[in-house]
Structure 1
Amino acid sequence: MFKNLSPNIKSSITRSITQTFEQYMASIAWDEELYSIEQFVATWREYITTKALWYSKIPEDIKQHPSFHEDLAQRINEVIQRILNEPPSEDQIASIQMMQEKLDTHYTYGCKAEANFVENLLTEHLQKEQD
């Protein structure tokens, strides 16, 4: 069923999963012990039903079909795996390392999205120190 959707809708679904996952992970400070797939899916479901323009473009009979839900679950898993397996850039690593030395911190990160979170966190800490 997912395969039969337009490329624009499929792309929008993928973007919404990516954005919501990264926002959800930031909300729990990328703490793996706090991660809950159920909570993430609930967050994503709320987003798609209240803010995603593409959701209303999918016919109700497709939305209700079990194979569509299976396809979505598979897509969610694929997107999460892609995010978690994308390594941080060399620039991110260098930037984080410099900031951690200045701040004497020891944050760890395993992927590009988590490195982005750490980089933003360290930037905020540096800005607070300068104020």
Structure 2
Amino acid sequence: MFKDLSPNLKSSITRSITQTFEQYMSNIEWSEEKFSIDDFIANWREYITTKALWYSKIPEDMKQDPAFHENLAQRINEVIARVLGEPPSDDQIASIQMMQEQLNTHYEYHCKAEAVFVETLLKKYLGL
């Protein structure tokens, strides 16, 4: 069912998953202990029903179809895996390393999105 949607609609759904996941992870400070797939899904559901313009373009019968929800769950898993698998850039690594040396901190980060969070946090500590 997901594959039957227009490319623009699929892209919007993917973007909403990515943005909501990165925001959720930032809100829990990228803590594995605080992560809950149920909480993330609740955040995503709230986002799509209150802010996502694409949600109203999906027919109601499709929204009710269990196969569509299975397709969405699969897409969510793919997007999360992609976000977690994207390595930090060399510029991010260098920037974070420099700030950590200044602040004498040792934050770990494992993907590009988490590096954005750490970089933002360190800049805040440095007053930048």
TM-score of the superposition, structure 1-length normalised? 0.97
Q: What stretches of structure 1 move > 2 A for 4+ residues in a row?
A: none
Q: Secondary structure at the match of 2:52?
A: coil
Matched, 1:69 2:89: no
Q: Which runs of 5+ in 1 are unaligned?
A: none
1:52 Cα deviation from its structure 2 partner:
0.2
Counterpart-to-counterpart distance in 2, 1:7 and 1:64 = 21
Counterpart-to-counterpart distance in 2, 1:53 and 1:94 = 38
Q: Deviations over 1:67-101 (max 9, x none)?
A: 00000000000000000000000000000000000
Q: Secondary structure at the match of 1:98?
A: helix
Q: Deviations over 1:6-64 (max 9, x none)?
A: 10100000000000000000000000000000000000000000000000000000000
Residue 89 of structure 1 aligns with which residue?
89
Residue 116 of structure 1 aligns with which residue?
116
Aligned residues between the structures: 128
Residue 44 of structure 1 aligns with which residue?
44
Q: Which runs of 5+ in 2 are unaligned?
A: none
Matched, 1:7 2:7: yes
1:125 Cα deviation from its structure 2 partner:
0.4
Counterpart-to-counterpart distance in 2, 1:12 and 1:124 = 31
Counterpart-to-counterpart distance in 1, 2:55 and 2:83 = 23
Counterpart of 2:53, as a letter, is L
Counterpart-to-counterpart distance in 1, 2:15 and 2:123 = 26
Counterpart-to-counterpart distance in 2, 1:41 and 1:94 = 34
Counterpart-to-counterpart distance in 1, 2:65 and 2:104 = 53
1:115 Cα deviation from its structure 2 partner:
0.4
Counterpart-to-counterpart distance in 1, 2:8 and 2:94 = 36
TM-score of the superposition, structure 2-length normalised? 0.99
Residue 31 of structure 2 aligns with which residue?
31
Counterpart-to-counterpart distance in 2, 1:123 and 1:18 = 23
